[in-house]
Structure 1
Amino acid sequence: MALARRYAAGERGFRLELLDLSGVDLSSLDFSEAWLRDTDFSGAMLRGCRFTGASMPGTNFGGADLSGADL
């Protein structure tokens, strides 16, 4: 997947809009500076994730595990 390769290469600041990531294990990912408008993270595993500087209007974190996350 092209997005995964870009992430692995160190790129950040993605526009991840209107995505349904509910229930997905995304532990330890760095979403710093990402555009997360109306993204659904409900019930997702977000332990240790970084959201520093991310734009998150309308984002749903209901029931997500944000243990150790940096918001």
Structure 2
Amino acid sequence: MTLQNLEPFIGEDFAVIAKQIEFRTKQGAKAFGYSANLLPEVCDVFARTQRAGVLNATQRYIADRV
């Protein structure tokens, strides 16, 4: 989500919570994911960029669903 049109709307703390975390699946396999704390931040970025009118067509499609 680091496209140029979104960057001005991404806060400094976003990079901290956007780091992948390693975990084990129920089957014991190694997997990677993101903290659930990232979801509201992503939604906020899309909401603010949508209001500002800076989204491309694909990003608008996503923003309409968050």
Tell me the TM-score normalised to structure 2 length: 0.27
Q: Scaled by the length of structure 1, what TM-score is found?
A: 0.26
Higher strand residue share: 2
Tell me which structure has the larger Cα radius of gyration: 2
Greater helix content: 2
